[in-house]
A and B are shown apart, each in its own frame.
Chain A
Amino acid sequence: GQSLEQPSEVTAVEGAIVQINCTYQTSGFYGLSWYQQHDGGAPTFLSYNGLDGLEETGRFSSFLSRSDSYGYLLLQELQMKDSASYFCAVSPNTGFQKLVFGTGTRLLVSP
């Protein structure tokens, strides 16, 4: 099975940098994804790591280390609109198409 753990809540101020960690126990997966979800809304895709290393997409970067069973999402130049929940997720190699989500991290950005 798959188990992905995240901190429940992170707080930061505008303009800061924040890192949201994801540690996992899984029998195998194709890649690690990150999604953002605002209250009452649908999750939206942020980033994907198929291989170890850093992927950068604008203000957001994501990192994966399979040897450490660990990944993180890095958000730079935080804005108020970044206040949302963030989820890591894996595509297990037993069912490539589906996504199994982590416990989620609620990010609160203050002025």
Chain B
Amino acid sequence: GAVVSQHPSWVICKSGTSVKIECRSLDFQATTMFWYRQFPKQSLMLMATSNEGSKATYEQGVEKDKFLINHASLTLSTLTVTSAHPEDSSFYICSARDNAGGHWVSNTGELFFGEGSRLTVL
């Protein structure tokens, strides 16, 4: 199956600093990637859709100036949490579909997820 890699796996930072999380599709091209946030014992909440070569599409209630998303290539999307605060501490997970050549490789609805990045803001 398609492999999505996320880095770093965990990060601790001071309040007010910015943190960048990378998401890479290792064996396929992904024109679109998705960023989710998950608090302990809760569901995955979609934050934004990252589009290669264009602006990200944010879900309602997500601050686009706080969560900067860049999708500069077909295999890399980055999420930058700017001026992080303790309430931003969470598990951030990226995902992508393998839609090689613009056509769905599979129509099973499968999303491939990165390993996740656990952010702790002190």
Write the residues of chain A forming the contact surface with B, with a CB cutoff of 8 angstroms.
30-33, 40-45, 48, 50, 87, 89, 91, 95, 97-104, 106
B42 CB-CB contact with A under 8 Å? yes
Which chain A positions have C-beta within 8 A of B49? 95, 97-98
Q: Which of A42, A45, A100, A102 has the most CB of B within 10 A?
A: A42
Q: Other than the known A32-B109, A42-B93, what 17 A-B pairs have Cβ atoms closer than 8 Å?
A: A33-B109, A41-B116, A42-B113, A42-B114, A43-B93, A44-B113, A45-B109, A48-B108, A97-B34, A97-B99, A98-B34, A98-B49, A99-B34, A99-B111, A101-B43, A101-B45, A104-B43
A97 to chain B, nearest CB (A): 5
B107 CB-CB contact with A under 8 Å? yes
Q: Which of A45, A97, A102 has the most CB of B within 10 A?
A: A97
Which chain A positions have C-beta within 8 A of B111? 33, 43, 45, 99
Write the residues of chain B forming the contact surface with A, with a CB cutoff of 8 angstroms.
32, 34, 36, 41-46, 49, 57, 93, 95, 97, 99, 107-116, 118
**Can you give 5 A-B contacts (C-beta < 8 A)?**
A41-B116, A43-B111, A44-B113, A97-B97, A98-B49
CB contact under 8 A between A98 and B46, given known A41-B116, A42-B114 = yes
A40 to B107, CA, bound (A): 28
A26 to B41, CA, bound (A): 24
A34 to B43, CA, bound (A): 13
CB contact under 8 A between A45 and B44, given known A95-B49, A97-B32, A99-B34 = no
Which chain A positions have C-beta within 8 A of B99? 97
- B113 A102 Cβ-Cβ under 8 A: no
A39 to B21, CA, bound (A): 20
- B116 A91 Cβ-Cβ under 8 A: no
- B109 A30 Cβ-Cβ under 8 A: yes
Which chain B positions have C-beta within 8 A of A98? 34, 46, 49
A13 to B36, CA, bound (A): 32
- A87 B44 Cβ-Cβ under 8 A: yes
